[in-house]
Amino acid sequence: MPPLIAVDWGTSSLRGARLDDVGRVLEEKSAPLGILNVPNGDFAGVFASLFSEWMKPAGSVCLISGMAGSRQGWVEAPYVACPAGPDELRQGLHWIEPGRIALVPGLSDEQRDVPDVMRGEEVQIFGAMRLAGLVDGLFVLPGTHSKWASVEGGRITGFRTFMTGEFYGLLSQHSILARTLEAEAPLDEAVFLRGVARAGNGEGLLHNAFGVRALALFGRLSPAESASYLSGLLIGEELHRQKLPAGREVIAIGAAALTARYALALGQRGLSVRTFGAEATWAGLRTLQA
Amino acid sequence: MPPLIAVDWGTSSLRGARLDDVGRVLEEKSAPLGILNVPNGDFAGVFASLFSEWMKPAGSVCLISGMAGSRQGWVEAPYVACPAGPDELRQGLHWIEPGRIALVPGLSDEQRDVPDVMRGEEVQIFGAMRLAGLVDGLFVLPGTHSKWASVEGGRITGFRTFMTGEFYGLLSQHSILARTLEAEAPLDEAVFLRGVARAGNGEGLLHNAFGVRALALFGRLSPAESASYLSGLLIGEELHRQKLPAGREVIAIGAAALTARYALALGQRGLSVRTFGAEATWAGLRTLQA
C-alpha cells in the first residue's frame, strides 16, 4: 500500500496525518485554514504549502474528507446517496490529480420527505467500524451538527442531523440566556443530568430553554450551572429523539469532552458507549484507500 | 374616573396613551427608549420628557406595564404569583409617586418544577378579556417570548413561555440557515403551513431546523421560502405543545402580522382565533385603574 496522506478539511480548521504503509500515524499537523479561511479561495496553494513535503515520496496518495468537497470548498464532490459503504464512497472520489489527490464525497440520505447530508462524518464512521471490528451499529458524532447513523452489513443505511452544538452556541452567546450564563464553565455533571432529564418532559425545547432564564431569575441556577443545564437540555432533546433500546451499545466519535457528555447521558439510560477520536478519521481514509 | 396615562415600557421601545374618563384613547406616542436604551438609567428623566405634559391635569394617574418593572428597569416590582386576576395585580402595584405613577408587577407561575414569568402580557390578557367580554379562555401572545395563558373566572391560572420569536431571529440571522434564507421575505402561506405540519413529525426542532438547510442545498426551498418554512417549523413546534381541542377558541394578542400567522396555523387545525392588538394594553391598564 503506498503512503497515505490523510486530510480532514473542515469549515474552520484542517488536520492532516502522514500514515505509513500499514496505516500507523507517522506525523500530524493542523492549521486554522478551514474552507472559510482559505486566502483568495486558493485551495491548491494552501494544500501545497502544508503537504507538498509529505507528498514527495513516489506513489503518495492524499485523500481529503470534510467540507473541502462541498460547494463552498475546493471542488464540489457530489453527495453519494445512502445506503452506502466504503465501496460507494471510493467510486465517488473526486480526483483533483488523478491517482494522487482526491476529495471524498459526502453522503446524503434521501429516503425520507426531507433529505439529510453529511461530509466527513461518513469517513469517521467507517474508521471507527474498522477500529472496533464492527459491521453493524448505532453511531453518534456529536458536534455543531450532530449526526446519528445506523450501520448494517458495513454500510450506512440512514442518518439524521441535529443542530445541537450550533443551538448551544446561539443560545449561550446570543440569546437572552447569555446574560446569566457562563458558557465556558466546567461541566457540573449533576446539573447537566437535570437538564437531560428535563428535556424528556414533553414541553419542547422552545419552552424548556426559557426555563434556564426563569431558574436564573429565581436564583436557582448560577451562571456556571446554567451552562451545564442548557447543555443537558440540548443533548437530552437530541437523545430523546433516538430509538435507544436499553442495553444497546452506541459508538460515539468526536472530541473527548463532548463524547464524555453523551456517555454520561446515555449511561444514565443504561446504554453503553464506546468512544473514538481523531484516529477514526485516519482509519476511515485508510479504508477508502484500500 | 380620573384621566389615565397608560404606558407599555418594554425592552426596546415604549408606547404611551392618554385615555379619557371612559377609557377612549385621546392621543398616543411611542419612542425607541426601551429599558435597555434609557440614557444613564435616568428613567424619571425619560418619563418626564415624554409624559409631564399629559400628567398636568389634576388627579392624573399613570400606570406602567412591561419590563420597566423588572430588575433591569426603573424599579423592580416583584412578580405576583398566579393564579392572579386584576385584584392581585392592583395590590402589587409599585408606586413611584403614591397615587400618581405606578409600575405594574409581572406575573410568575410557580406551580411546576421550573418557574415561568411574564411582564406586560398579563395586562394585555386582562385588557383582551375586557374587550371580548370573557372571564374564561385560552390566550396566546406571540412574540420574542410567546406566552400561552389559561384564564378561568377572570384570573390567569397558569402560563408557559416559548422562545419562538427569539429562536427565529437566532436561526435566521446567526445560524448556518442564514446563508440561504431571506429573513425579511413576505410570508408564503403554503410553505409556512408545510413547516407547521413538519413540526409535528416527532423528530424535534434540532433535526427539523437542519432540514431547512438540506432542502436549500437540494434546491427545494428558495431563500424566500426558507423564511416562511422556518417560521412555520417554529410556530408549529410551539402549537404542537399546547392542548388544543378542536373547536376551541384561542385569543391571540399582538402585532397583526404575527397573530395572522398563528390564526393561519390554528385555523388549519380547526380552531377559531380572535385577535387583539395594542388596544388590549390600554384596556388592561384601564382595568387595573378601576
List CB contacts (< 8 A) between A205 and chain B: 204-206, 237
**Beta strands A61-65 and A4-9, pairing class:** parallel
Model confidence pLDDT, tens digit, residues A118-130: 999 999 999 999 9
Bond from prior residue into A115 cis (ω within 30 degrees of 0): no
Q: How many CB atoms lie within 10 A of CB A217?
A: 17
Model confidence pLDDT, tens digit, residues B179-196: 999 988 999 999 999 999
The answer to whether the Cβ–Cβ distance between B204 and A237 falls below 8 Å is yes
Percentage of the residues of chain B whose pLDDT score is greater than 90: 94
CB A107 within 8 A of CB A66: no
Q: What is the per-residue pLDDT for B66?
A: 97
Distance from CA of B121 to the nearest CA of A (A): 16
Instruction: Report the CATH fold assignment for B120-290.
Output: Nucleotidyltransferase; domain 5 (3.30.420)
Secondary structure of residue B201 in the 3-state scheme: helix
**Beta strands A155-162 and A146-152, pairing class:** antiparallel
Radius of gyration of chain B (CA): 20
Distance from CA of A50 to the nearest CA of B (A): 28
Q: What is the per-residue pLDDT for B247?
A: 83
The answer to whether the Cβ–Cβ distance between A206 and B241 falls below 8 Å is yes
> Which amino acid belongs to residue B193?
L
Model confidence pLDDT, tens digit, residues A242-276: 999 888 899 999 999 999 999 999 999 999 999 99
- Any idea where the domains of chain A sit in the sequence? 1-113, 120-290
Is any Cβ of chain A less than 8 angstroms from the Cβ of B204? yes
Report the distance separating Cα A124 and Cα A281, nearest Å.
5
Quote the ipTM score.
Answer: 0.95
List CB contacts (< 8 A) between A115 and chain B: 211, 214-215, 217-218, 220
Could you tell me which residues come within 8 angstroms of residue A204 by beta carbon, excluding any fewer than 6 positions away? B162, B205, B237, B238, B240, B241
List CB contacts (< 8 A) between B240 and chain A: 204
Q: What is the per-residue pLDDT for A77?
A: 96
Is any Cβ of chain B less than 8 angstroms from the Cβ of A33? no
| A 234-273 residues inside an 8 A Cβ radius of B | 234, 237-238, 240-241
Chain A and chain B share a number of CB contacts under 8 A equal to 119
Q: What is the per-residue pLDDT for A246?
A: 84
Is any Cβ of chain A less than 8 angstroms from the Cβ of B215? yes
Looking at domain A1-113, its CATH architecture is: 2-Layer Sandwich (3.30)
Report the distance separating Cα A33 and Cα A171, nearest Å.
26
Is B94's pLDDT higher than 80?
yes
Mutate to test the interface with A, among B163, B174, B177, B181 (most CBs of A within 10 A): B163
The answer to whether the Cβ–Cβ distance between A214 and B170 falls below 8 Å is no
**pTM attached to this predicted model:** 0.95
Residue of B160, B204, B220 with shortest CB distance to A241 = B204
Distance from CA of A122 to the nearest CA of B (A): 17
Model confidence pLDDT, tens digit, residues B15-34: 999 999 888 999 999 999 99
Secondary structure of residue B142 in the 3-state scheme: coil
Is A282's pLDDT higher than 80?
yes
Model confidence pLDDT, tens digit, residues A44-73: 999 999 999 999 999 999 999 999 999 999
How confident is the model over A173-184, as a mean pLDDT?
94
The answer to whether the Cβ–Cβ distance between B114 and A206 falls below 8 Å is no
Is any Cβ of chain A less than 8 angstroms from the Cβ of B163? yes
How confident is the model over B133-148, as a mean pLDDT?
96
Model confidence pLDDT, tens digit, residues B251-280: 999 999 999 999 999 999 999 999 999 999
Q: What share of chain B is helix, strand, coil (3-state, %, to 5)?
A: 40, 25, 35
How confident is the model over A190-213, as a mean pLDDT?
97
Could you tell me which residues come within 8 angstroms of residue A97 by beta carbon, excluding any fewer than 6 positions away? none
The answer to whether the Cβ–Cβ distance between B166 and A145 falls below 8 Å is no
How confident is the model over B69-91, as a mean pLDDT?
96
CB A147 within 8 A of CB A108: no
Is any Cβ of chain B less than 8 angstroms from the Cβ of A164? yes
Cell of A191: 446539573
**In angstroms, how far is CA B202 from the centroid of its own chain?**
27
CATH topology match: B1-112 vs B120-290? yes
Model confidence pLDDT, tens digit, residues B224-250: 999 999 999 999 999 999 999 888 899
Mutate to test the interface with B, among A35, A36, A113, A114 (most CBs of B within 10 A): A114
The answer to whether the Cβ–Cβ distance between B204 and A176 falls below 8 Å is no
Mutate to test the interface with A, among B35, B210, B220 (most CBs of A within 10 A): B210
The answer to whether the Cβ–Cβ distance between B210 and A163 falls below 8 Å is yes
Comparing alpha-carbon positions, the chain A residue that sits nearest to B208 is A162
Model confidence pLDDT, tens digit, residues A124-169: 999 999 999 999 999 999 999 999 999 999 999 999 999 999 999 9
> What is the CATH superfamily name and number for domain B1-112?
2-keto-3-deoxy-galactonokinase, substrate binding domain (3.30.420.300)
CB B51 within 8 A of CB B18: no
